[in-house]
Amino acid sequence: MEDRGTYRGWPRVVAVVGAGTMGLGVAECFAAAGMGVRLVDATQDLTRRAKERLVQRARGHVRAGLLAEEAARRVEAVETKDGAEEAASGAELVFEAVPEDLGLKRDTLGACSGAAPPEAVVVSNTSSLPINRLSEFVEGPERFCGMHWFNPPEWTPGVEVIPARATSEKTIERVVEALRGIGKRPAVVGDGPGFVANRLQTALFLEAVRCVEEGLASPKEVDEVVRSCFGFRLPFFGPFQIADMAGLDVYQSVLGVLEEGLGDRFEAPEVLRKLVEQGRTGTKSGAGFLEYTEEERDRLLLERDRRYAALGGLLEELPPVSAGSEGPP
Ligand SMILES: NC(=O)c1ccc[n+]([C@@H]2O[C@H](COP(=O)([O-])OP(=O)(O)OC[C@H]3O[C@@H](n4cnc5c(N)ncnc54)[C@H](O)[C@@H]3O)[C@@H](O)[C@H]2O)c1
């Protein structure tokens, strides 16, 4: 496994506060990339055990051919600290990943931002708590934002970066640049409930559960439909480009049927109706949510076909993932 080299930009020292599922994975990413990482959990004993797990995981990743030996040695060099303040003092970035509890986040963010140097950036990995609310707990809220990673953090490229009203542009620029520098794909999104990813994922999950409740399909069948029908496209395209390629007029007609059968939540949004009215029906008309020259459209469709064929081939090659067995409900 090739070592992708060490990251030499900002931040050089990161405090990871909360060393559970997410904190450990993010600590591995930062350390493997070459940042100095300080790890801390709720007690000295938990911190010591978390460090042991971190090293075991990194060793497992080396054995699986996922991590270079040199990178694993950098993970082994992660320091442990006795408390959040000690970890934050002298850090250039404080990454908070304690459990999703407002009181605990308040205490942790308050303590860390008080102890960190004034120019340090403080971020929270919260999945759902409003970033504006959390920013009230931070000393110097202009240097605070959400940095929402996805599980498993080591291998999921996307990270949502969520500014609070008080966050400075410089803070966002630094955070985005640092994430790109270690190979992640940050997207800056607004502070709405669930941000963007969890809102979309939850909408899908709710409809999936409804399909099961209504007896349309079993959980296993729903999973198969998602992964091998429309979900098959998602590594390459988001919902807007997929809709443009399908035809927005088609989407509008389908939504009419769904609305009739399933209610208002499927009503075609005004922006979609307007685009169709203007003849912007997607790639076939040269414009939908996005605009395409003829050449761009032809290239897009060809590249789409190449990618789908390549992914189909990869899925054939990989051994099947154990799906679990079906029980109630
Ligand atoms: N699990 C996920 O898939 C996921 C994904 C994205 C974001 N998140 C968010 O990340 C955060 C952490 O989630 P997780 O799944 O890693 O939780 P977790 O329970 O696995 O880990 C939290 C860790 O924080 C430690 N902790 C508790 N109090 C502490 C304190 N005062 N100081 C330091 N450490 C303390 C706990 O001992 C535990 O090890 C939450 O805000 C969660 O919403 C989770």
Q: How do the domains of the chain map onto residue ranges?
A: 13-188, 236-305
Q: What is the tens place of the pLDDT at every residue in 148-177?
A: 999 999 999 999 999 999 999 999 999 999
The superfamily (CATH) of domain 236-305 is: N-(1-d-carboxylethyl)-l-norvaline Dehydrogenase; domain 2 (1.10.1040.10)
CA-wise closest residue to 211 among 163, 262, 170, 162? 262
Query: What's the pLDDT at 323?
Result: 65
- Cα–Cα distance for residue pair 211/208, rounded to 1 Å: 5
CB 160 within 8 A of CB 197: yes
pLDDT in tens, 82-140: 999 999 999 999 999 999 999 999 999 999 999 999 999 999 999 999 999 999 999 99
pLDDT at 320 over 80: no
Indicate whether residue 83 lines ligand 1 (CB < 6 A). no
Helices and strands, counts by H and E, the chain? 13, 8
Find out whether the beta carbon of 40 lies less than 6 Å from any atom of ligand 1: yes
Which atom of ligand 1 is nearest the CA belonging to 23? 16
Closest CA to 57 of 79, 35, 76: 76
pLDDT on residue 329: 61
Lay out the sheet containing 121-124: strands in order across.
79-80, 36-40, 13-17, 93-96, 121-124, 144-148, 158-163, 185-188
Residues 41-62 have a mean pLDDT of 98
Q: Which residue in 249, 257, 239 sits closest to 273, CA to CA?
A: 249
Residue 328 has pLDDT above 70, yes or no: no
Q: What percent of the chain has pLDDT over 90?
A: 94
Give the CB-side neighbour count of residue 43, counting CA atoms within 13 A.
3
Cβ–ligand 1 contact at 160 (below 6 Å): no
Would the CB of 281 count as within 6 Å of ligand 1?
no
**CB-ligand 1 contact for 129 (6 Å cutoff):** no
Residue range 248-307, pLDDT digits in tens: 999 999 999 999 999 999 999 999 999 999 999 999 999 999 999 999 999 999 999 999
Architecture of domain 13-188: 3-Layer(aba) Sandwich (3.40)
Nearest CA to ligand 1 atom 18: 20
| Segment 202-254, tens digit of pLDDT | 999 999 999 999 999 999 999 999 999 999 999 999 999 999 999 999 999 99
Count CB neighbours of 234 within 10 A: 12
127 CB within 6 A, ligand 1: yes
Predicted pLDDT at 47: 98
